[in-house]
Structure 1
Amino acid sequence: MTIDPSKISASTTPFALIDEHSASESEKEILFSMHTVFRVDDIKQTVSSNRLWEVQLSLTGDNDPQLATLTERIKGELCGSTGWHRLGDLMIEVGHFNQAEELYNELLKNSSSDSDRAHIYHQLGRLKDDQGQYKEAVSFYEKSLEIYRKTLPEDHSSLAPTYTNIGAAYDNMGNYSKALEFYEKAHKIYEKSLPPNHPDLATSYNNIGGVYDNMGNYSKALEFYDKSLKICEKSLPPNHPDLATSY
């Protein structure tokens, strides 16, 4: 474990030597603050045992450009208008489904906004989706759509993610005709609202191709997979994992 004082400010990444307070005098203990982030520099097997691995870590600080990029990416992926909503989203991401459901149900009770209720129903749908409870997921997604449709046109860009998720739920249930119906609704919106080489459009083509693949219509599947791949090749770096999925 490496701490470079020339790169790390104690004011942004506090740490302290506490070996003199340790129960074991031989231990060299360092206490770090809760928000401390380390970079994994190297992982190698120990010489003494093939069952043990040694991990080399270096402490990062707020001025680390890679950490800043990662932090901004995570912030962008967490959705929600309030801290409570973003906490619920994070709970879903890490698999704490019971806690997320409890939080969203509480937020739903206290919500006075249609847009908030629509978002919460969508998130409850995601939660059920991740738990493999696809019928319940579709039910929540439909409740979200019902609210959105009161104020938004049928082809509004905000509806596309919900259409996509309903399509995925039907796909997972083996109801391919319904999956195709909702994937195509989402795709029409993406075609209108996104530039022609946007990664989300590639994902949409890939989703439709996947349904045709599951239906055994391989020529149609190949057609949509090829469209997805062409966009990915233009919009993604050559070593991006989504390219491997397309291939």
Structure 2
Amino acid sequence: MNSFLSTSTSSSIALGFSGNGSGRPLVKPVFFEIHCPVKEYQTKPFANIQNYSYTKEENEELSDTIWHVKLTLCDDDNDLNRIESIDYLKSEIDHRLDISFLAKLFIDINELDKAKDLYNLIVKDLPSDHCDRVSIKTNIGTIHFGNGQYCDALKYCRQALKINRLLMPKDFITLSMILNNIGHAYNKLGNYLESIEYHKKALQIQKKFLIKNNLGYATTCKHLGVVYDCLSKHKLALTYLEQAKKILEKYLPEIHPHIGDTFNNIGEIYLSNNRSNEARINLEKSLEIRLESLPTDHPILSVSYSNLGYAHDRLGNSQKALEYHNKSLNICLKSMSKNHPDLATTYNNIAQCYNELDNFTSALFFS
């Protein structure tokens, strides 16, 4: 925004100006909430003009009909990582300002219901032989991943694969991505050998037709690392994940969520290998990146807190472990359905912590 904004410190006044959209059905009202950490900056890039305002009571934040956008003020000198991430996001958005990209953005910030509504809107008028059905099926599968519905995720990924082979047989980038997603679904369902098969198919395509060491290749390496960790092949798993991290750090901003994911995966391998302190270091780095780049109630943060709980439990600090598992639970309750498998796991982790602290009443309550 390269212009002056008229704002208010009163949320009710701001909402009054935004309106409820009833007078303009094709336009969506947007309510902006701007966080200004002024203590971090030498100068204030805003001024209170209440005494000069025509309407002094304005003191120049929601409803279902208004979009709520939260912004954080950035400074060129103090927020280099954030600015680098913003520039990367801008490059991703260029030439993709359509409703499908908005739906994908909703997936990234865990607004899964909104994403699904948009995809249903798109697909309603889409011809059955339209190539966009491939990405829509793939992304609906991603929504089911987020909801812990792995069988449904696999179903939509297989549908995407069928359409891709029919309509876009030479689109190897999309093909490798779909194969990766199918492999990921099999991993979540505990079918590790099938998972490896699909990930290696994706890897072969990427090596043969695509530029090696690109982001898709890194994603495949990361997924293979996770599966091999599940099979207790920790050394091989770590090799794949370190390779993925090296590529991601080359092409992505320092605080990109994908890099945070990789640090988390490496931490999980160290946990599996009983190297708890190394696990803690990588998991703390992952949490730091995720807190910088994701909404505070994003479900992936519950994984970070949960894993740090495991690490501190292994290090003999049950009280600290309990604190992390409780943080994980708070996010799960906000962002997941009541029947999500991760929620049951979190309750069990808390019960184990209470049991180790000899608080058997609380342990029984969470069991």
TM-score (norm 1): 0.66
Of 185, 190, 193 in structure 2, the residue corresponding to residue 169 of structure 1 is 185
Task: Kindly provide the amino acid, as one letter, of the partner of residue 166 in structure 1.
Answer: I
Contact 1:171–1:211 (8 Å) recurs in 2: yes
Of 185, 196, 201 in structure 1, the residue corresponding to residue 217 of structure 2 is 201
Aligned match of 2:328: none
Of Structure 1 and Structure 2, the greater strand share is in 1
Residue 188 (structure 1) aligned with residue 179 (structure 2): no
Identity percentage of aligned residues: 26
Structure 1 residue 230: deviation in Å? 5.4
The residue matched to 2:131 in structure 1 has which SS? helix
Q: 1:207 to 1:109 in 2, by over 3 A?
A: same
Contact 1:37–1:60 (8 Å) recurs in 2: no
Q: Gapped runs of 5+ residues in structure 1?
A: 1-7, 24-30, 44-56
Aligned match of 2:108: 93
- Find the aligned partners of 1:131 and 1:173 in 2 and give their Cα distance: 14
Task: Kindly provide the amino acid, as one letter, of the partner of residue 141 in structure 1.
Answer: C
Query: Which deviates the most, 105-114 or 189-198?
Result: 189-198
Aligned match of 2:130: 114
- Encode CA deviations 1:67-125: one digit per residue, 9 max, x unaligned: 87544433455699662212222222232222322221232121125212112111111
Residue 160 (structure 1) aligned with residue 151 (structure 2): no
Structure 1 residue 135: deviation in Å? 0.6
Of 3, 6, 24 in structure 2, the residue corresponding to residue 15 of structure 1 is 6
Aligned match of 1:212: 228
- Find the aligned partners of 2:73 and 2:230 in 1 and give their Cα distance: 46
Give the aligned CA root-mean-square deviation in angstroms: 4.1
Contact 2:179–2:199 (8 Å) recurs in 1: yes
- Find the aligned partners of 1:242 and 1:144 in 2 and give their Cα distance: 25
Q: 1:128 to 1:35 in 2, by over 3 A?
A: same
Of Structure 1 and Structure 2, the greater helix share is in 2
Q: 1:89 to 1:75 in 2, by over 3 A?
A: farther
- Find the aligned partners of 1:212 and 1:58 in 2 and give their Cα distance: 42
Q: Gapped runs of 5+ residues in structure 2?
A: 19-29, 41-71, 267-281, 283-367
The residue matched to 1:132 in structure 2 has which SS? coil
Aligned match of 1:148: 164
Q: 1:244 to 1:41 in 2, by over 3 A?
A: farther
- Find the aligned partners of 2:238 and 2:190 in 1 and give their Cα distance: 20
- Find the aligned partners of 1:198 and 1:158 in 2 and give their Cα distance: 14
Task: Kindly provide the amino acid, as one letter, of the partner of residue 210 in structure 1.
Answer: V
Contact 2:241–2:262 (8 Å) recurs in 1: no
TM-score (norm 2): 0.47
- Find the aligned partners of 1:198 and 1:191 in 2 and give their Cα distance: 10
- Find the aligned partners of 2:221 and 2:181 in 1 and give their Cα distance: 14
